[in-house]
Amino acid sequence: MNDFLSLLPLLIICSGGIVLMLLSVLETMNTETASYVSLGFFGIAFFVQFLIVCFPESELFATTFHSMLMANSFSRVAGLVILGAGFFTAMNCHTYFQQNKVCTVEFYSLLLFAGCGMILLTLARELITAFISLEIMSLAIYILVGYDRERVTSTEALLKYLILGAFAGAFFTMGTALVYGAAGSTGFVEISNYISANSASTPLLVGGAFFILVAFLFKVAAFPFHAWVIDVYDGAATPVTGFMATALKAAVFTVFVNFLTINGALQKEWITFLFYIALFTMFGGNLIAIGQSNIKRMLAASGIVHSGYLLIGLIAISTGSFTGSVIVYYLAAYAAGTLGIFAALSYLGGKNESRISFDDFKGLAKVRPYSAAAISIFLLSMAGIPPTAGFMGKFYIITSAIAEGQIALAVFGVISSILSMWYYLRLIICMYFNDAEDSFEIEKSPFAPACTFILAICVFAIGLYPIVI
């Protein structure tokens, strides 16, 4: 029964996706109704997941489906982040597609399937399962990215993402094969037993783990596998970009953590490697972001930087006082801020995303003070200014890094966030310190603005009451 309960959110959105797919043949079904249906499914699943997180006394299941899935407190909160991101994305899409009429009913169905793959990914305790869920998620996302076939950038984004993503998938299977060759199993428990019996540095295992890490690093856009992210984020429809930036990152980081922590020896083996990856990810991302004039591209680059911070958290994970909760908290804080900005962009962007550069947002505060204030809150959260969620997230990451003796990494993280101040402040300066040239007319739709409002409150709520995690 408990197993069933833990899987319930997954089942709900999975069936939601199938129902929508079937309903799409009906004549009377239009995109608006579809968005309500998907909102409903995401909402119910979120609620159920929320109850599961709130009442942890219901036993965690260690082994289901021959220990292929496992729910721990970490994956539960990650699931909550993913479902929340899905819910808000559906809201944004509703508004976005009133201005850009390229949507069909299947869009929402794919959104649900993508969410389904992500949830499955957080539960995966076995490499093949992880691969399958990774692909369920990726295939849905590929289509979502290229949904606007009329736009060149969208198609370009799809191709880039698809081809490179296929490479990453191939790396993952290659890694799985090598690990299987070493450990004789693809289950995390068996791999852990193998490492304890032998060591984490047998050639086969090192090769396998390396390929798997490459696939993960590609998905979270860490250096040097970050090049795709700018064009893809730019080309995809704004709400989809928001979904990718938050839910996808949350899912991949969860399985990343689960994989890396199956055995302490495995994590130790890779710390130095990840140290340099994190370092270059943060500074590379910053350098890219500083040069951008397009907000979506800037956010893509800042997403790289945030991946770098999350990698710090990953390195600092230990069996001691800091566990995955630091990472999952950061994911939630980052998701609230990023989704909020993409929600605001969804309704402020205008037809065909005509308002997207820094200059287009000049003087927004004069015309739409509330929207500008909300965007500023999200930006400040991403920059890590108290009392927002982003600050608490960064605080935890730095604390965990220093507590684990990674002082250098913590200092680099701080320096990197000083650098990132520049491009976050730049947008705030554009919005506040210039006169308006645009009248910022938008389609009337309550959804994305409501979403912006809720998330702005969330940013403070998560920041002021960090006890929830």
Q: Which residues bind other proteins (CB under 8 A)?
A: 321, 373, 380, 384-387, 391, 394-395, 398-399, 402-403, 407, 410-411, 414, 417-418, 421-422, 425, 429, 432-433, 466-467
Closer to other proteins at the Cβ: 210 or 395?
395
Closest CA to 381 of 343, 416, 340: 340
- Nearest approach in angstroms of CB 365 to other proteins is 9
- Nearest approach in angstroms of CB 214 to other proteins is 31
Distance between CA atoms of 129 and 122, rounded to whole angstroms?
A: 10
Residue type (1 letter), 58? S
- Nearest approach in angstroms of CB 369 to other proteins is 8
Distance between CA atoms of 446 and 458, rounded to whole angstroms?
A: 18
List the structure tokens of 259. 């994989």
Closer to other proteins at the Cβ: 9 or 466?
466
Angle value at C-alpha 294, between 449 and 434, nearest 5 degrees: 70
Look at residue 350 and give its three-state secondary structure: coil
Closer to other proteins at the Cβ: 208 or 466?
466
Closest CA to 217 of 241, 246, 252: 252
Distance between CA atoms of 124 and 69, rounded to whole angstroms?
A: 5
Closer to other proteins at the Cβ: 221 or 458?
458
Q: Read out DSSP for 102-116? A: ---HHHHHHHHHHHH
- Nearest approach in angstroms of CB 332 to other proteins is 15
Alpha helix positions (H), 24-126: 31-54, 73-99, 105-123
Closer to other proteins at the Cβ: 58 or 321?
321
Measure CA of the first residue to CA of the last residue in the chain; give whole Å. Answer: 25
Look at residue 294 and give its three-state secondary structure: strand
Look at residue 72 and give its three-state secondary structure: coil
| Contact yes or no for 285/305 (Cβ under 8 A) | yes
Closer to other proteins at the Cβ: 24 or 399?
399
Look at residue 135 and give its three-state secondary structure: helix
Q: Read out DSSP for 137-192? A: HHHHHHHHHT--TT-HHHHHHHHHHHHHHHHHHHHHHHHHHHHHHHHS--BHHHHH
- Nearest approach in angstroms of CB 159 to other proteins is 39
- Nearest approach in angstroms of CB 314 to other proteins is 18
Closer to other proteins at the Cβ: 165 or 285?
285
| Contact yes or no for 108/143 (Cβ under 8 A) | no
Closer to other proteins at the Cβ: 128 or 419?
419
- Nearest approach in angstroms of CB 361 to other proteins is 15
List the structure tokens of 271. 């710390």
- Nearest approach in angstroms of CB 423 to other proteins is 12
- Nearest approach in angstroms of CB 43 to other proteins is 28
- Nearest approach in angstroms of CB 457 to other proteins is 13
Long-range contacts of 163-169 (CB under 8 A, 24+ apart): 164/218, 164/228, 165/138, 165/218, 167/218, 168/214, 168/215, 168/218, 168/219, 168/225, 169/131, 169/134, 169/135, 169/138, 169/215
- Nearest approach in angstroms of CB 335 to other proteins is 20
Angle value at C-alpha 333, between 211 and 241, nearest 5 degrees: 60
Closer to other proteins at the Cβ: 294 or 399?
399
Distance between CA atoms of 67 and 452, rounded to whole angstroms?
A: 40
Closer to other proteins at the Cβ: 197 or 467?
467
Closer to other proteins at the Cβ: 181 or 320?
320
- Nearest approach in angstroms of CB 395 to other proteins is 7
Closer to other proteins at the Cβ: 300 or 469?
469
